[in-house]
Amino acid sequence: MTMAELPDVRFLTVAEVAEIMRVSKMTVYRLVHSGDLPAVRFGRSYRVLESAVREVVQRPIADVG
Protein backbone atom coordinates (compact mmCIF):
# COMPACT_ATOMS: atom_id res chain seq x y z
CA MET A 1 0.00 0.00 0.00
CA THR A 2 1.39 3.38 -0.93
CA MET A 3 0.74 6.77 0.64
CA ALA A 4 -1.38 7.68 -2.40
CA GLU A 5 -3.78 4.86 -1.47
CA LEU A 6 -4.19 6.01 2.14
CA PRO A 7 -6.36 9.15 1.91
CA ASP A 8 -9.56 7.14 2.42
CA VAL A 9 -8.17 5.10 5.32
CA ARG A 10 -9.55 6.20 8.68
CA PHE A 11 -8.66 4.68 12.03
CA LEU A 12 -11.01 4.82 14.99
CA THR A 13 -10.27 4.52 18.69
CA VAL A 14 -11.88 1.81 20.81
CA ALA A 15 -14.11 4.48 22.39
CA GLU A 16 -15.26 5.69 18.95
CA VAL A 17 -16.01 2.13 17.84
CA ALA A 18 -17.98 1.50 21.05
CA GLU A 19 -20.03 4.63 20.45
CA ILE A 20 -20.76 3.71 16.81
CA MET A 21 -21.73 0.14 17.70
CA ARG A 22 -23.54 1.23 20.91
CA VAL A 23 -21.64 -1.26 23.04
CA SER A 24 -19.13 -0.94 25.87
CA LYS A 25 -15.42 -0.47 25.28
CA MET A 26 -14.90 -3.89 26.91
CA THR A 27 -17.08 -5.47 24.21
CA VAL A 28 -14.92 -3.84 21.53
CA TYR A 29 -11.76 -5.17 23.23
CA ARG A 30 -13.32 -8.65 23.31
CA LEU A 31 -14.09 -8.43 19.58
CA VAL A 32 -10.51 -7.31 18.87
CA HIS A 33 -8.92 -10.04 21.01
CA SER A 34 -11.14 -12.76 19.53
CA GLY A 35 -10.19 -11.69 16.01
CA ASP A 36 -13.77 -10.77 15.06
CA LEU A 37 -12.76 -7.13 14.68
CA PRO A 38 -9.35 -6.54 13.10
CA ALA A 39 -7.28 -3.85 14.78
CA VAL A 40 -3.79 -2.40 14.79
CA ARG A 41 -1.92 -1.87 18.03
CA PHE A 42 -0.08 1.43 18.48
CA GLY A 43 1.87 1.28 21.71
CA ARG A 44 -0.66 0.40 24.41
CA SER A 45 -3.76 1.35 22.43
CA TYR A 46 -5.68 -0.14 19.53
CA ARG A 47 -6.96 1.50 16.37
CA VAL A 48 -9.65 -0.06 14.21
CA LEU A 49 -10.19 0.60 10.53
CA GLU A 50 -13.51 2.33 9.95
CA SER A 51 -14.15 -0.06 7.05
CA ALA A 52 -13.71 -3.05 9.41
CA VAL A 53 -16.36 -1.61 11.73
CA ARG A 54 -18.75 -1.25 8.78
CA GLU A 55 -18.14 -4.89 7.82
CA VAL A 56 -18.80 -6.18 11.34
CA VAL A 57 -21.97 -4.11 11.71
CA GLN A 58 -23.32 -5.34 8.37
CA ARG A 59 -22.44 -9.01 9.04
CA PRO A 60 -25.48 -11.22 9.70
CA ILE A 61 -25.86 -12.05 13.36
CA ALA A 62 -27.18 -15.58 12.94
CA ASP A 63 -27.91 -18.01 10.16
CA VAL A 64 -31.68 -18.27 10.43
CA GLY A 65 -33.45 -20.99 8.51
SS (H, E, C) 15-63: HHHHHHHCCCHHHHHHHHHHCCCCCEEECCEEEEEHHHHHHHHHCCCCC
For residue 50, being part of any structural domain is answered with yes
pLDDT of residue 47: 96
For residue 37, being part of any structural domain is answered with yes
For residue 65, being part of any structural domain is answered with no
Which residues of the chain register pLDDT less than 50? Answer: none
pLDDT of residue 61: 73
Give the domain range for residue 31: 9-58
For residue 29, being part of any structural domain is answered with yes
The answer to whether 16 touches 53, Cβ cutoff 8 Å, is: no
For residue 49, being part of any structural domain is answered with yes
